[in-house]
C-alpha cells in the first residue's frame, strides 16, 4: 500500500565506424538509396538459415536429440552440466521444510521486524539518463571489473565464483562516459569476455571461448536497418547483486535536482528519509523498510544493483541503444535458491526487432554485455504518414535540438515550436512501458528477483509538460520546468507481491510450478511507503510487477472518525471514503478518451455504478494502468 500525504509546509566497423552517420546525411530522397541490406545471411554465415527435415517426424526427432536449450547456462566444474534444480540448491525452504500455507506459497509469513505502515518515504524512480552515442570519445581507462571476494552482504567473502565486482569498482566503471567497445551492427566477436579467467577457474576448463558481447554472431543477429535507425542516444546499465547506491546517476537526471519538485525546496529534493540524500540518491540501501535487513547480493538482482527502481525516458523518433552488462555470480547456484545468472532483456509491448526483443534463448552470461537497439518509431512507419507531415506524429524537443528524419527530404531537422514531425501513425502512440528478463524457464524467478524497470515514452501528444499548448499536447499532469519529461506530478509505481525468509532476505518458492504468491505487497520495492503530494492533480503510472498475482487497486482517503464510507480496522477510530479518478492509458496505449471511475458510469453493464467507483479493473501480470487523480 502507499499513502499520499500533503506536506506540512510543504572489425574497424566493429570498433568505431561512423559510416552510418555519413550515410544518413548523404541520402537525398526517401526511397532513392536503400540504407541497409535486407537479404538473408549467406550460406557461410554462422547464422545462415537452415530448413528442417522434410519429414515432420524426422524434424521433431532431430529436435528431441538436441541438448536442453538452456544447458550452457547451468554449466558446472569439470564438464558437468546441471539441471533446472541446480539453482534451487541454496533455497532456505526445500520441499521437506515447506508448509501448507497458500500465501506465501508453501512458505512462512514474512517477518516485519517492527515496521509500521506509512513510516518511510516513497522512493521515486531514478532515471538511467541517456547520452549522445559519440564514436569520437577515447577509450576509457577502466574495463568492466572482474569479481573478487569481499565482505557480505554485497560480496562473497570466500569464493570468487559466488561473488561479484566490488561496488566501488562497478561504480567507477559505470561513471565513465560513452561505450567501449563502440557498438556495431554485428555482434562483437573480436573482444573476449573480461571474466574469462575467472570462468575458466570455476569450470576447470581451458580455454573458454566467450566473447565480450552475448549477442549471437552473424547477419541473422545483426541489428536490422541499422543505418536507418542508427542509435542517436545510448546508456549502459549492469545487472548486479544488491549494493549501496553511490549516486552515480545523480547528474543524469533530467531535472538535475535543480528544478521543479526535484530542486531545492521541492517535495522530492530529498530523495529518501536519510537526511544526507538531498539532491542525490547516494546512501540509499536495499532495504524494504528501514527496520528491515539489507538484502544480500545473492537474493536481490536489480538494474545497477541498487534502489530506487530505474526508469528509462525515451522519445518517439529517436533510436536508443542500451548496453546491458551482466555482473551476476559465475556459479549458477549462488542465488539464495532461486533465479538464474543468465539473462535476456525484453522491452514489453515495444516495436522491437527480433535481435533486440529479449528472445528467451538469446541469453548472455556473467561478464558479457548485450547491445539492445530500440528504433522508437511509430507503428505504420513504412506505410502511413511517410512524408512526416502530421503534427500529432512528432518528437518532443527543446530549442536547438536536432533529429534525423527519413521523410521526403531525409536529413537532420531542427526543433520548431517544441517538436519535430516524424513518420508513422500517431493513433498508436504509447506511453508507459517496462522491460524485464525473458530467460528461458527462469523469467518469473528473475523478474521477481529484481530484473524489471519501467520505461516512459514521450511524444508530441504526451510530452510530459502540462503547460505547453500547441493544440496537440494533451497537457497531462507532469510539471513545466523542462521542455519535456517533467516528473514532478507524474509518478511511476511498481506494485508487486513479495515474501522474505526469517532473516529478512527475499524468498521465492521454485519448487511449486503452479505460480508463486507473496504475502506482502511492495510499492517500488518498499513496505507500505508514503508519498508527499501537493493539493493538485497527479498522474500515476501503475505496473503490476507480480509474477502470478492479479491485483485490484482502489483509491481511498483516510477519515478520522466514522464518517467515511468504509470502516477502518477495529479500534482504529478511522474510516475511509472513495477518491474518484480517470483512466487515460492501458498497457502502454493512450486511450481514445478518458474513462471516469467516479460512479457516474456503469462500466461493465451489470447495473452497479459503484463497483468501479474509485476501483480499477483487475490488473493482470505485467499490465499497466495510467490514471489521473
Q: What is the pLDDT of residue 214?
A: 98
Mean pLDDT by runs of 10 across the 629 residues of the chain is 47 34 37 76 95 90 90 95 96 97 97 98 99 96 99 98 98 98 97 98 92 97 97 99 99 98 99 99 99 99 99 99 99 99 98 96 98 98 97 97 94 96 97 98 98 99 98 98 99 99 98 96 99 98 99 97 94 96 97 96 93 96 98
Count the Cβ atoms, other than its own, within 10 Å of residue 493: 23
573 domain-assigned: yes
The alpha-carbon radius of gyration of the chain (Å, integer) is 25
- Domain total in the chain: 1
140 domain-assigned: no
174 domain-assigned: no
589 domain-assigned: yes
Q: Are 6 and 533 in contact, with CB atoms under 8 Å apart? A: yes
Query: CA 534 → CA 8, 480, 491, 572, distances in Å?
Result: 10, 15, 13, 26
Q: Are 520 and 433 in contact, with CB atoms under 8 Å apart? A: no
616 domain-assigned: yes
Measuring CA to CA, which residue among 13, 385, 435 is closest to residue 223? 13
**What is the spatial distance between Cα 629 and Cα 611, in angstroms, rounded to a whole number?**
18
Count the Cβ atoms, other than its own, within 10 Å of residue 585: 22
* DSSP category for residue 196: H
561 domain-assigned: yes
SS3 letters across 530-598: EEECCCCCCEEEEEECCCCCCECCECEEEEECCCCCEECCCCCCEEEEECCEEEEEECCEEEEEEEEEC
Q: What is the pLDDT of residue 52?
A: 84
**522-553 per-residue burial string, b: 16 or more CB within 10 A, e: under 16:** bbbbbbbbbbbbeeeebbbbbbbbbbebebeb
Q: What is the pLDDT of residue 2?
A: 59
161 domain-assigned: no
Q: What is the pLDDT of residue 259?
A: 99
Q: What is the pLDDT of residue 7?
A: 42
Q: What is the pLDDT of residue 172?
A: 98
**What is the spatial distance between Cα 117 and Cα 318, in angstroms, rounded to a whole number?**
42
**497-514 per-residue burial string, b: 16 or more CB within 10 A, e: under 16:** bbbbbeebbbbbbbbeee
427 domain-assigned: no
What would you measure as the largest C-alpha separation in the chain, in angstroms?
77
**What is the spatial distance between Cα 314 and Cα 338, in angstroms, rounded to a whole number?**
32
**What is the spatial distance between Cα 229 and Cα 313, in angstroms, rounded to a whole number?**
18
Query: CA 552 → CA 344, 491, 618, distances in Å?
Result: 30, 19, 5
Q: Kindly report the backbone phi and psi dihedral angles of residue 452, in degrees, each rounded to the nearest multiple of 5, phi listed first.
A: -160, 130
Q: What is the pLDDT of residue 25?
A: 35
Q: Which domain holds residue 623?
A: 556-628
Q: What is the pLDDT of residue 555?
A: 98
Amino acid at each position: 500500500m502507499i499513502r499520499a500525504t500533503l506536506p506540512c509546509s510543504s572489425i574497424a566497423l566493429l570498433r568505431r565506424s561512423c559510416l552510418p552517420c555519413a550515410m544518413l546525411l548523404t541520402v537525398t530522397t526517401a526511397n532513392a538509396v536503400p540504407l541497409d541490406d535486407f537479404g538473408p545471411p549467406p550460406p557461410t554465415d554462422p547464422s545462415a538459415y537452415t530448413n528442417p527435415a522434410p519429414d515432420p517426424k524426422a524434424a521433431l526427432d532431430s529436435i528431441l536429440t538436441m541438448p536442453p536449450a538452456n544447458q550452457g547456462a547451468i554449466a558446472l566444474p569439470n564438464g558437468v552440466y546441471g539441471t533446472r534444480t541446480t539453482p534451487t540448491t541454496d533455497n532456505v525452504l526445500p520441499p521437506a521444510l515447506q508448509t501448507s500455507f497458500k500465501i506465501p506459497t508453501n512458505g512462512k509469513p514474512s517477518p516485519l521486524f517492527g515496521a509500521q505502515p506509512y513510516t518511510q518515504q516513497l522512493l521515486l524512480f531514478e532515471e538511467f539518463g541517456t547520452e549522445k552515442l559519440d564514436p569520437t570519445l577515447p577509450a576509457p581507462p577502466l574495463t568492466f571489473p572482474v569479481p573478487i571476494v569481499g565482505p557480505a552482504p554485497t560480496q562473497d567473502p570466500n569464493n570468487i565464483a559466488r561473488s561479484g565486482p566490488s561496488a566501488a569498482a562497478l561504480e567507477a566503471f559505470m561513471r565513465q562516459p560513452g561505450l567501449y567497445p563502440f557498438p556495431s551492427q554485428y555482434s562483437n566477436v573480436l573482444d573476449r569476455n573480461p571474466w574469462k579467467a575467472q570462468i575458466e577457474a570455476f569450470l576447470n576448463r581451458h580455454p573458454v571461448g566467450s566473447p565480450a558481447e552475448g549477442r549471437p554472431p552473424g547477419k541473422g543477429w545483426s541489428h536490422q536497418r541499422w543505418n536507418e535507425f542508427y542509435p542517436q542516444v545510448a546508456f549502459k546499465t549492469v545487472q548486479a547483486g544488491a549494493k549501496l547506491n553511490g549516486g552515480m546517476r545523480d547528474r543524469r537526471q533530467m531535472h538535475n535536482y535543480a528544478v521543479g519538485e526535484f530542486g531545492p525546496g521541492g517535495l522530492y529534493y530529498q530523495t529518501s528519509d536519510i537526511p544526507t540524500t538531498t539532491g542525490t540518491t547516494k546512501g540509499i540501501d536495499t532495504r524494504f523498510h528501514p527496520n528491515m535487513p539489507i538484502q544480500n547480493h545473492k537474493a536481490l538482482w536489480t538494474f545497477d544493483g541498487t534502489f530506487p527502481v530505474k526508469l528509462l525516458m525515451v522519445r518517439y523518433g529517436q533510436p536508443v541503444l542500451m548496453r546491458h552488462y551482466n555482473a551476476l555470480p559465475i556459479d549458477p547456484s549462488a542465488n539464495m535458491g532461486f533465479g538464474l545468472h543468465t539473462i535476456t532483456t525484453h522491452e514489453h509491448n515495444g516495436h522491437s526487432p527480433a535481435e533486440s526483443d529479449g528472445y528467451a534463448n538469446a541469453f548472455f552470461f556473467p561478464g558479457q554485455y548485450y547491445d539492445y537497439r530500440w528504433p522508437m518509431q511509430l507503428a505504420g512507419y513504412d506505410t502511413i504518414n511517410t512524408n512526416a507531415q502530421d503534427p500529432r506524429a512528432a518528437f518532443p524537443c527543446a530549442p536547438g535540438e536536432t533529429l534525423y528524419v527519413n521523410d521526403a527530404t531525409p536529413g537532420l531537422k531542427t526543433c520548431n515550436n517544441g517538436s519535430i514531425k516524424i513518420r508513422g501513425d500517431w493513433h498508436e502512440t504509447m506511453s508507459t512501458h517496462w522491460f524485464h528478463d525473458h530467460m528461458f524457464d527462469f523469467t518469473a524467478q528473475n523478474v521477481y528477483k529484481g530484473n524489471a524497470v519501467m520505461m516512459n515514452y514521450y511524444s508530441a501528444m504526451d510530452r510530459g509538460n502540462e503547460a505547453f499548448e500547441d493544440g496537440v499536447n494533451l497537457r497531462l499532469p507532469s510539471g513545466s520546468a523542462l521542455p519535456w519529461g517533467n516528473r514532478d506530478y507524474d509518478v511511476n509505481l511498481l506494485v508487486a507481491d513479495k515474501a522474505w525468509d526469517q532473516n529478512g532476505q527475499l524468498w521465492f518458492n521454485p519448487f511449486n510450478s503452479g505460480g508463486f504468491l507473496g504475502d506482502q505487497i511492495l510499492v517500488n520495492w518498499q513496505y507500505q511507503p508514503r508519498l508527499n503530494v501537493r493539493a493538485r492533480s497527479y498522474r500515476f503510472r501503475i505496473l503490476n510487477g507480480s509474477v502470478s498475482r492479479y491485483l485490484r487497486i482502489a483509491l481511498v482517503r483516510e477519515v478520522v472518525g466514522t464518517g467515511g464510507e468504509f470502516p477502518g480496522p477495529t479500534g482504529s477510530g478511522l474510516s475511509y471514503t472513495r477518491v474518484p479518478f480517470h483512466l487515460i492509458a492501458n498497457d502502454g496505449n493512450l486511450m481514445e478518451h478518458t474513462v471516469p471511475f467516479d460512479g457516474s458510469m456503469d462500466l461493465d453493464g451489470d447495473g452497479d455504478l459503484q463497483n468501479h467507483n474509485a476501483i480499477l479493473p483487475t490488473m493482470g501480470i505485467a499490465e499497466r494502468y495510467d490514471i489521473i487523480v
